[in-house]
Amino acid sequence: MSLEAIYVVRHGFRSNWVVDLKTGEYSSSIPTPTGIPSDPALASKGITQSQELAAHLSTLSPPIQRFYSSPFYRCIQTISPTLQALSSTTTDPEAQKIRGENGLGEWYGTARFDHPSPANSSVLKSLFPAFDEDYTPVIRPSVNGETISDLHDRTAYALHRVIERSDREGVKAIVICTHAATLIAIGRALTGRAPEDWSEEDFKPFTCGLTTFVRRVGEKGGRVEREVGDWEGPETAIPTVEWKGGNGVGGGWDVTGNGDCSFLSEGEERGWHFAGDESFDTTPALDAGSALGVVVESKKGPTIPASSSRL
């Protein structure tokens, strides 16, 4: 094993979009860079957050050596300032790229219609020169959405492959930029903690907040994972990763900072947790990005980072 730390951040403050539950048509009042209504850019507040995030991530130890991101625009936009800040500190070409991983991308609830997919790699490369066109995502979510349980299993599989690759590449730290629901699922898959109630508030996905995971070693380390099969393509079963029961992906990880926003001038903003709903068929969608969850009120001002050995 080589990977020691995983830094997980949620994208910055974004603009909203809506979906017509009868037709499955997504729309946005503000044009998006990719032309996909559910793929907005950051709002001006989010851009400021991404810059403050970059200043903080540049100070972390071990330093970031690989960048993984949901392939939606707002996530790549959020993590780009960090890559730019760190690119001058390394000669490793792989440390100067952003890998778009669909398996760590947005969660959509189940629906009778197809949800939007992110832009393809050539479009993203034209918008973000650092985007890695050669990286192949390890899994892609179903276009018809997922149950909450499926989201967790999809995320666990993606993490298994990302950690496996990081170990092979000999890197000590990576960063993942993702979305609220997926960040919560990442935390649970890494720690091995699957709550009885999915809507429990455990991991804190504030916009541009940082949650840090450190790998368990020695007696604390989890058991060796069984061999995990390969994902066979769209609409096929998610390969089983035995992450529950405290096991955690990759031997298990501890939390040393949960939703830290102490470096953000406006502190904690736009938190979120699952509401327990899984279907777009029954949930009103004034803001399709938060339709299946509960938005947590902002707490203005810098915050003190939460810390615990294990949630």
pTM score: 0.91
Residues 190-231 pLDDT 10s: 999 999 999 999 999 999 999 999 999 875 555 556 789 999
Buried b (16+ CB within 10 A) or exposed e, 210-243: bbbbbbbeeeeebeebeebeebeeeeeebbebbb
Rg of the Cα atoms in the chain:
18
pLDDT of residue 1: 62
Provide the β-strand partners of residue 120. none
pLDDT of residue 21: 66
| Percent of the chain whose pLDDT exceeds 70 | 85
User: What's CA 125's distance to the chain center, in Å?
Assistant: 20
Percentage of the chain beyond pLDDT 90 is: 73
Residue type, 200: E
248: left (phi over 0), alpha (psi -120 to 50) or beta: left
Confidence band for 278, pLDDT divided at 50, 70 and 90: confident
162 pLDDT exceeds 60? Answer: yes
Name all domains of the chain by residue range, CATH numbers in brackets: 5-296 (3.40.50.1240)
For residue 63, give the amino acid letter: P
Phi, psi of 58 (to 5 degrees): -70, -15
Lowest-confidence pick of 19-28, 47-56, 227-236: 19-28
Which of 39-43, 63-67, 223-227, 305-309 has the largest mean confidence?
63-67
The mean pLDDT of the chain is 88
The H or E element containing residue 168 is: helix 148-169
Label each residue of 68-117 as H, E or C: EECCCHHHHHHHHHHHHHHHHHCCCHHHHCEEECHHHCCCCCECCCCCCC
Determine the Cα–Cα distance for residues 159 and 259; give it in Å rounded to an integer: 19
Q: Do the bridges between strand 173-178 and strand 5-10 make them parallel or antiparallel, or are there none, so unpaired?
A: parallel
The amino acid at residue 196 is: E
The two structure tokens encoding residue 260: 């830290």
In the numeric block, the tokens 């500190």 are attached to 89
Q: Which among 277, 158, 285, 266 is positioned nearest to 206, based on CA atoms?
A: 266
Measured from the Cβ of residue 245, the count of other Cβ atoms closer than 10 Å reads: 10
- Among 93, 40, 42, 43, residue whose Cα is nearest residue 67: 93
pLDDT of residue 182: 97
- The strand pairing partners of 69, in sequence order, are 100, 177
CA-to-CA dists, residue 31 to 7, 153, 171, 279, angstroms: 31, 33, 38, 27
